[in-house]
């Protein structure tokens, strides 16, 4: 099955996979403000199964990953591509690199779920948050609990930025996502060694009470990689700390070496890709 995709720019392919339950529009809101400044890249934002414009597949992460691989082959000619993922999207990106290293030329993992089952995650060493008074005043009530746990920089500015981004999220298949999380969330080869030695950058937050930060080190394996730990970052670092994150993301793309002479295309019509800083 092929997944829905939104494309920005022109040049070498960069595929981006979002957080669980969020679609490519939210991922574009996180990344376009910084990536549009780097010429020579065609950014392909995927809607994972059951989100945005993508229908469901079998409710297992193995089936989700197969759909991602098929879509990359369709849109990008079989690779290699630069691949970026956040949270569950990072979990899938690492899995694809492990299984089909010929598809991946470089890897950016942000707030990644290295161990996807909540009970398996190492949350040791995390720091407490210090909320700004009234920081959730403008946030819909149904998002309060999640924001309180997931966001590390708990300020009104960050809450406004995240609320604007979440408002871009399309209608999700809630029943499918519940089934996937309850019964098929873990990839069948989770924990296997990382044979691919592509350049990798890992970004984690010490206030990420969803994924933690210790498990992600294992994803480096023997790769030529960097690991960045933001002491004040939570599970949504691209929105919480966009300036500092943007420097890392742009440096990663520069190191991923787009072909000389390629120029960035004009921004496409379609989903908005930026939110207020």
Residue 124: the pLDDT is 96
Residue 260: the pLDDT is 43
The per-residue b/e assignment along 248-276, b for 16 or more CB within 10 angstroms, e otherwise, is bbeebbeebebeeeeebeeeeeebebbbe
The model's pTM: 0.91
Residues 273 and 18 sit within 8 Å (Cβ to Cβ): no
Query: In the CATH scheme, what is the code of domain 5-255?
Result: 3.40.50.1820
pLDDT (tens, 9 = 90+) of the chain, 277 residues, equals 899 999 999 999 999 999 999 999 999 999 999 998 888 999 999 999 999 999 999 999 999 999 999 999 998 887 799 999 999 999 999 999 999 988 999 999 999 988 999 999 999 999 999 999 999 999 999 999 999 999 999 999 999 999 999 999 999 999 999 999 999 999 999 988 665 678 899 999 999 999 999 999 888 877 778 999 999 999 999 999 999 999 999 999 988 864 444 443 333 333 433 333 3
Place of tokens 């960035």: 264
Place of tokens 């933001």: 230
Nearest one of 253, 276, 270 to 37, comparing CA atoms = 253
Sequence-separated (6 or more) residues with CB below 8 Å from residue 205: 111, 152, 213, 229, 230, 232, 233, 234, 235, 237, 240
């Amino acid at each position: 099955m092929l997944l829905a995709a939104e494309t920005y720019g022109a040049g070498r392919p960069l595929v981006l996979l979002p957080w669980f339950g969020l679609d490519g529009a939210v991922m574009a809101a996180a990344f376009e403000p910084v990536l549009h400044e780097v010429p020579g890249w065609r950014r392909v934002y995927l809607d994972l199964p059951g989100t945005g414009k993508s229908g469901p597949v079998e409710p297992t992460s193995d089936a989700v990953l197969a759909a991602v691989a098929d879509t990359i082959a369709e849109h990008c000619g079989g690779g290699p591509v630069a691949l970026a993922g956040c949270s569950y999207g990072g979990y899938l990106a690492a899995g694809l690199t492990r299984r089909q290293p010929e598809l991946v030329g470089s890897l950016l993992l942000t707030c990644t779920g290295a161990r996807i089952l909540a009970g398996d995650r190492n949350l040791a060493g995390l720091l407490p948050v210090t909320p700004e008074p009234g920081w959730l005043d403008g946030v819909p009530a149904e998002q309060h609990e999640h924001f309180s746990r997931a966001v590390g920089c708990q300020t009104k500015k960050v809450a406004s930025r995240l609320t604007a981004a979440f408002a871009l999220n399309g209608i999700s298949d809630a029943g499918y996502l519940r089934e996937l999380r309850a019964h098929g969330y873990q990839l069948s080869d989770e924990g296997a060694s990382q044979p691919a030695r592509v350049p990798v950058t890992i970004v984690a937050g010490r206030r990420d009470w969803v994924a933690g930060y210790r498990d992600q080190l294992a994803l480096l394996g023997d790769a030529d990689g960097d690991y960045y730990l933001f002491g004040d970052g939570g599970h949504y670092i691209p929105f919480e700390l966009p300036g500092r994150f943007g420097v890392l993301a742009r440096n990663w793309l520069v190191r991923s070496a787009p072909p000389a002479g390629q120029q960035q295309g004009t921004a496409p019509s379609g989903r908005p890709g930026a939110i207020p800083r």
